[in-house]
Structure 1
Amino acid sequence: MKKLLTFVFGLIACAVQAQVKNNTFHVVDKQTNKPVASATIAILRASLSITTEKDGIFSIPGDLSIMKDTVVISAQRYIAFKLPLANLGNLDTIKMQQQPIIIADASLTISTDTLLNNYNRFDVGNYVGLHMGKGEFNYLQIAQKFDAKRAGTLLKKIDIERLAFHFDKFKPLPDKGTSILNGQYEYTELEHTKFRLRVYDVSPLTGGPGKDLCDKIIEVKSREDNLLSINLKSYNIVIPNKTFFVAVEWMRDYMNMGYVHVGNNYGTKKAYPNYRPAVGLSPTKGAALNIWALNLNQQWSLYIYHSPDFTDLAMKATVGY
């Protein structure tokens, strides 16, 4: 049975009515009319976003005509667009236009491999994607900038360090009372993760992520340890310039969602949703900040929250030339 992905607008007046209209939409390819899986639906002022499932269906409850907000719909290989929520009222199908991706010639003779952004993985202890201080983490993608020694290399592998375990401060430890009393934690489960890997050329305008360099969807699923090693040889991804970016795109669905409980000065806590994986920060500090983030409005910017202490993600790239 198809699952409907629903945004809950708690601050919208129509949500408190006894009967709430449910507006259901189908996101489809304009040429084929087939569902667009894993499209990101973002509501800007409400700071809400979710990923559609394979059926491309999402729903928004309430009277759209009175909602003063904007929706942004995006998906890999398609042109993103945004429009006022009120304009969705007369629609039930949203057709997305494909965006051509120019792929460089992959007929390279590889004789040498080079590892970029090396670090000691056992020193990784800080992560991106859980929350930001006492606020919610509202980014769709996090990217690492790489600089190869030459242009025209082949991207062969990506290694990512991620937070794999869920820690429970309140779970009792054997013969030691509760973990919160003696300052200890116990991991309760090995968290699954599902995300998409994106590879970008450098933008000549911003110096950040630009055009996609892969026309295939790279979806990563794992219940293994905190090291994710992703073999990319079969994708034939050629890096046309020296600089390129590799990004984690979070799948914002219910199965991939977790919560972080953050306290305040008054002793109360608030639960902030997050989406796995939480990506590690490299323990090796570089000369410049190389982390970029994509916000709900599909805009890339340098991710300065952890700077100047951390300059890079715990992400390594192996390129061949």
Structure 2
Amino acid sequence: MKNLLTCFFILTALLVNAQQKTNTFYIVDSTTRKPMPAVTIAIVRAALSITTENDGVFAIPGDLSKMRDTVIIYTQNYNVVKMALASLNGLDTIKLVKQATAGQLTKLSFKNDTLINDYNRFDVGNFAGMHTGNGEFKYLQIAQRFDVQRAGTLLKSIAIERLAFYLNKSKLIGPNSKNGQYEYSELEHTTFRLRIYDVNPVTGGPGKDICDKVIEIKSRDDKKLASNLMKYNIRIPNKTFFIAIEWMRDYANMGYVHIDDKLGGYKGHTNYRPAIGLLPTKGAQLNIWALSLNQQWSLYTYHSPDFTDLAIKATVGY
């Protein structure tokens, strides 16, 4: 199904009326010509982005030739497409070119394990990903920096603390129903992608993908998101690496929050699950990085200096 959120945010941002032309685009693999799901479409100046669904379709209403903005289209393992929004005028298909990948590394056994960035999950009470002050959270990914004692280690597993709310499902039948009690409840669902990056030697932030496999994590029943990564054989080439959360900006992961606008009213902001925990301890350096809509990594300073690390821990083998 065509992504309904696409039309919603484009209509809101560009303020075009319903009678204008709707421009529909199909994102496909340049070799197979198959539709590509989970592709991020970001419109930079408008500060808007969405993720395509399984059909790889998105739509923009209005006269594209008159729009002055930049669109960036990207997904893991493919070359980024960056172009003027007006350049889409007259197109209906966008072909993404797959990046060349390195050969499969030989699997090795590692006898010793080290847990990095450990924390007590019950100490986590603050989260990144919902909003920044009175404004919306306008980042595509958020990453935690890790440092290990030696190069060539194996990333074996990760655990992430997220913000989650219980959803009531059905009311009790019987004498307790008058109390508004419910038969059962479950945690809200979320789906996101995990990205593993090498360090960029110039910026000190996230660089190239270390793992070319798509790691998609789905959670239904826990605030702690844990994943065994052994099957991916992720070798860390240097002493620094990053674990990043890539949000799936689609309807299924969308949330909504009301924020006091300090004028006696409230603002409503859209956000996307999961919100990621912040450790309550203050470290010697800021280790949180965020990816903006224009594909630029920078230190995420909003919560500093009080919170320098995300509630993400990793086990590496050596």
Query: Under a length normalisation based on structure 1, what TM-score does the superposition of the two structures give?
Result: 0.90
Query: Do 1:103 and 1:214's aligned partners in 2 also have CA atoms closer than 8 Å?
Result: no
Match of 2:201 among 204, 210, 222: 204
For 1:35-114, what aligned pairs fall within 5 Å after superposition?
35-102=35-102, 105-114=105-114
Q: Secondary structure at the match of 1:86?
A: helix
Separation in 2, partners of 1:162, 1:276: 9
Give CA deviations for 1:117-166 in whole Å, capped at 9, x if unaligned: 11111100000000000001000000000001111011010100000116
TM-superposed CA distance for 1:8, in Å, is 2.3
Look up the equivalent residue of 1:25 and give its one-letter code.
Answer: F
Give CA deviations for 1:92-126 in whole Å, capped at 9, x if unaligned: 00011111233672422210000001111110000
Match of 1:257 among 245, 254, 258: 254
Query: What is the aligned partner in structure 1 of residue 151 from structure 2?
Result: 151
Given the superposition, is the C-alpha separation of residues 67 and 198 from structure 1 closer, same or farther in structure 2, using an over 3 Å criterion? same
Q: Secondary structure at the match of 2:10?
A: coil
TM-superposed CA distance for 1:167, in Å, is 9.5
Query: What is the aligned partner in structure 1 of residue 273 from structure 2?
Result: 276
Query: What is the aligned partner in structure 2 of residue 130 from structure 1?
Result: 130
Separation in 1, partners of 2:12, 2:98: 34
Separation in 1, partners of 2:216, 2:93: 26
Match of 2:222 among 225, 228, 249: 225
Separation in 1, partners of 2:272, 2:224: 17
Query: Do 2:167 and 2:188's aligned partners in 1 also have CA atoms closer than 8 Å?
Result: no
For 1:229-240, what aligned pairs fall within 5 Å after superposition?
229-240=226-237
Structure 1's consecutive aligned runs of 4 or more residues displaced over 4 angstroms after TM superposition are: 1-4
Separation in 2, partners of 1:283, 1:11: 36
Look up the equivalent residue of 2:141 and give its one-letter code.
Answer: Q
RMSD: 1.9
Given the superposition, is the C-alpha separation of residues 71 and 166 from structure 1 closer, same or farther in structure 2, using an over 3 Å criterion? farther
Q: Does 1:245 align with 2:242?
A: yes
Query: Do 1:201 and 1:241's aligned partners in 2 also have CA atoms closer than 8 Å?
Result: yes
TM-superposed CA distance for 1:205, in Å, is 1.4
Aligned-residue identity in percent: 64
Query: Do 1:106 and 1:238's aligned partners in 2 also have CA atoms closer than 8 Å?
Result: no
Query: What is the aligned partner in structure 1 of residue 292 from structure 2?
Result: 295
Q: Which deviates the most, 100-109 or 38-47?
A: 100-109
Query: What is the aligned partner in structure 2 of residue 171 from structure 1?
Result: none
Q: Secondary structure at the match of 1:122?
A: helix
Q: Secondary structure at the match of 1:99?
A: coil
Q: How many residues get paired?
A: 302
TM-superposed CA distance for 1:20, in Å, is 2.0
Query: What is the aligned partner in structure 2 of residue 182 from structure 1?
Result: none
Look up the equivalent residue of 1:79 and give its one-letter code.
Answer: N
Separation in 2, partners of 1:111, 1:101: 28
Query: What is the aligned partner in structure 2 of residue 181 from structure 1?
Result: none
Separation in 1, partners of 2:56, 2:125: 37
Separation in 2, partners of 1:297, 1:245: 20
Query: Do 2:186 and 2:221's aligned partners in 1 also have CA atoms closer than 8 Å?
Result: no
Query: What is the aligned partner in structure 2 of residue 12 from structure 1?
Result: 14
Separation in 1, partners of 2:112, 2:63: 60
Given the superposition, is the C-alpha separation of residues 167 and 286 from structure 1 closer, same or farther in structure 2, using an over 3 Å criterion? farther
Query: Do 1:293 and 1:302's aligned partners in 2 also have CA atoms closer than 8 Å?
Result: yes
Given the superposition, is the C-alpha separation of residues 132 and 271 from structure 1 closer, same or farther in structure 2, using an over 3 Å criterion? same
Q: What are the ranges of 5 or more consecutive residues in structure 2 without an aligned counterpart? A: 169-175, 177-184
Separation in 1, partners of 2:274, 2:51: 15
Query: Under a length normalisation based on structure 2, what TM-score does the superposition of the two structures give?
Result: 0.90
Give CA deviations for 1:205-254 in whole Å, capped at 9, x if unaligned: 11111111111110011111210111101111110111000000000001
Q: What are the ranges of 5 or more consecutive residues in structure 1 without an aligned counterpart? A: 169-173, 175-187
Q: Secondary structure at the match of 2:135?
A: coil
TM-superposed CA distance for 1:272, in Å, is 0.4
Separation in 2, partners of 1:166, 1:271: 21
TM-superposed CA distance for 1:43, in Å, is 0.5
Query: Do 1:291 and 1:311's aligned partners in 2 also have CA atoms closer than 8 Å?
Result: yes
